[in-house]
Amino acid sequence: MLIQSGTHRIGPDNATLSVLTGRAGAAAKAGHDLVIRVTSWEAALVVGEDPAETSMELTADATSLRVVEGTGGMQALGDDDVANIQQTIDDEVLRRQDITFRSTRVQTEPGSSTIHVEGDLTLLGKTRPIAVDLAIGDAGELSATAVVTQSAWGMKPYSALFGALKVEDDVRVVLEGHP
């Protein structure tokens, strides 16, 4: 493993945690693919001398998601659109319930720059297993992408125009940083 043993704190000061959404439906070209940044979160990667002692935990404030980019669509996202999206996320999608992840199994290969992490993700009070590969760069930077299928956690992907425009069920969660 190319990361030192010990506890590595990760959060908005040294990393970004983003949610990337896509659009679907007959009116998909009217909507936007979004980059949503989580602005209040913290994670700890505990790397043990023995790989079996390695673990990862993450907590995120569900009300801290902020739209930072919207691409596509028939017109640019305005400030009102962004505010409405954030309100919808808070009130209807995540319902102001914090998000947690706790690893249950971590696998490393000697000399590998990837840590395979399996764990439990809790969204809307429902906990389900998920796996992610955490890549470690030559300078110690971390990156990971996980696909979260909203409906697996009882979330109904946002839709408009009587369902002709909707957010894809699968969203990508991306972590990038340098602890």
User: Can you give the residue ranges of every domain in the chain?
Assistant: 6-177
Closest CA to 163 of 10, 43, 28: 28
Per-residue pLDDT of the chain (179 residues; tens, 9 = 90+): 467 888 999 999 999 999 999 998 777 788 889 999 999 999 999 988 877 788 999 999 999 999 999 998 888 888 998 999 999 999 989 999 999 999 999 988 767 788 899 999 999 999 999 999 999 888 888 999 999 999 999 988 887 777 677 889 999 999 999 87
Q: Is-contact 179 140, C-beta < 8 A?
A: yes
Q: Does domain 6-177 sit in CATH 2.40.128.110?
A: yes
CA distance 161 to 19: 23
- CB hemisphere CA count around 72 (13 angstroms): 13
CA distance 83 to 81: 5
Residue 140 corresponds to which tokens in the numbers above? 């110690």
